[in-house]
């Protein structure tokens, strides 16, 4: 009996820890172009059937500018707009944010966040889409399984509008 309890205890302590935080790193490259505009960006978690499981971030011009309201141009984030954007009232607390300058940016979501708390165990795809006025459009995807069990960081690089997109799961306990 004692041997069984010892083996059960070892199995419990040697099992990989489930991650309780998802970190998404987004690199916006510095482009050498005549007319530069910061990109609009949407990041979301997609189900295997491409429906949106959770919106993570939508970066867009939030102040009224010379070209009007920034929300007008959200439809240029074509994949996100078709799957979720057109049905949402912007801004969304905790999701909407201003466009970001070139450089590295990170987002953290814990299991208590609105984005992750509703995720059922299963397979998903992190999708990041960017579009820039007088520029290009790009989308990268990283498949993952939730809840994550000690997974190594995964990095996928875009070609023009997006640099490295990194998905990391962290056990903060």
Indicate whether 61 belongs to any domain: yes
Residue 93 belongs to a domain: yes
The alpha carbon of 3 is separated from its chain's Cα centroid by a whole number of angstroms, namely: 45
Q: What angle do CA 162, 84, 30 make, to 5 degrees?
A: 15
Whether residue 6 is contained in a domain is answered as no
Predicted pLDDT of residue 158: 95
* 4 domain residue, yes or no: no
Domain that holds residue 112: 17-170
Mean pLDDT score of the chain: 86
Q: CA-CA distance, 57 to 161, in Å (whole number)?
A: 17
Cα(78)–Cα(80) distance, integer angstroms: 6
Q: Are the C-beta atoms of 71 and 60 separated by less than 8 Å?
A: yes
pLDDT of residue 2: 46
The pLDDT score that the predictor gives to residue 17 is 61
Per-residue pLDDT at 149? 82
| Number of domains the chain is built from | 1
Instruction: Name residues of the chain where pLDDT drops below 50.
Output: 1-15
In whole angstroms, give the CA distance from residue 143 to residue 141: 7
Whole-prediction pTM: 0.85
Q: Is residue 5 part of a domain?
A: no
Q: Tell me whether residue 3 is in a domain.
A: no
At 96-126, the pLDDT tens digits run 899 999 999 999 999 889 889 989 999 999 9
Residue 45 lies in a domain: yes
pLDDT at 70: 79
């Amino acid at each position: 009996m004692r041997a069984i309890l010892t083996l059960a205890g070892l199995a419990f302590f040697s099992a990989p820890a489930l991650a309780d935080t998802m970190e998404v790193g987004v690199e916006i490259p510095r482009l050498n172009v005549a007319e530069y505009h910061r990109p609009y960006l949407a990041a979301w978690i997609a189900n295997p059937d491409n429906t949106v499981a959770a919106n993570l971030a939508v970066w867009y011009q939030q102040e009224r500018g010379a070209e009007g309201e920034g929300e007008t141009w959200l439809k240029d984030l074509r994949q996100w707009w078709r799957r979720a954007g057109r049905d949402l009232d912007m801004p969304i607390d905790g999701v909407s944010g201003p466009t970001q300058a070139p450089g590295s940016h990170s987002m953290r979501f814990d299991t208590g966040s609105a984005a992750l708390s509703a995720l059922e165990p299963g397979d998903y795809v992190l999708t990041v889409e960017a579009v820039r006025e007088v520029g290009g459009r790009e989308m990268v995807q990283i498949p993952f399984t939730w809840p994550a069990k000690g997974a190594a960081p995964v990095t996928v690089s875009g070609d023009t509008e997006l640099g490295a997109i990194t998905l990391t799961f962290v056990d903060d306990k």
